[in-house]
């Protein structure tokens, strides 16, 4: 039993010597405007920039707490759909340690509906949905 306790003590001492010290931390509120590319109960993905020449797209995935998210211009999250244009306000927490490690955590705080994507006739025809009835 004594050997086991000595090993545990040695491991704890080793862990203490490797503990990182926080050098700097900050919290900022940021905002992104873009198109919803994915949405579920706890995450929203927004494409905020795309370059047609290089085919590069920039996207951000933000977690959120459904009970804490603030909604603007909509009543419920289920009113949002892929392709909608939204403005998302998020909190970014940054922590820098003496080991040069940098932790960045983001969490959405508010979603503001801006507009639906432009309707295209080809999508409506391809999907087989027809709003007019000739019966």
Q: Does 120 score more than 90 pLDDT?
A: no
pLDDT at residue 131 in the model: 35
What is the overall mean pLDDT for the chain? Answer: 83
Read off the pLDDT band of 128 (50, 70, 90): very low
Summarised one tens digit per residue, pLDDT across range 46-96 is 999 988 899 999 999 999 999 999 999 999 999 999 999 999 999 999 999
pLDDT at residue 130 in the model: 35
Matching residue, tokens 């490797």? 18
Query: 97: alpha, beta or left, given left = phi > 0 and alpha = psi -120 to 50?
Result: beta
The CATH architecture of the domain made up of 33-117 is Beta Barrel (2.40)
Query: 83: alpha, beta or left, given left = phi > 0 and alpha = psi -120 to 50?
Result: left
Domain boundaries, the chain: 33-117
Q: Are strands 85-97 and 43-51 parallel, antiparallel or unpaired?
A: unpaired
């Amino acid at each position: 039993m004594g050997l086991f306790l000595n090993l545990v003590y040695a491991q704890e001492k080793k862990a203490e010597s490797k503990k990182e010290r926080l050098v700097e931390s900050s919290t900022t509120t940021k905002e992104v405007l873009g198109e919803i590319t994915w949405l579920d109960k706890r995450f929203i993905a927004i494409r905020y920039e795309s370059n047609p020449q290089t085919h590069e797209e920039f996207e951000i995935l933000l977690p959120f707490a459904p009970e804490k998210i603030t909604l603007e211009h909509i009543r419920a999250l289920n009113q949002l759909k892929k392709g909608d244009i939204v403005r998302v306000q998020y909190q970014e927490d940054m922590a820098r340690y003496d080991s040069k490690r940098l932790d960045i955590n983001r969490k959405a705080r508010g979603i503001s509906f801006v507009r639906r994507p432009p309707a295209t006739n080809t999508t409506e025809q391809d999907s087989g949905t027809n709003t007019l009835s000739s019966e």
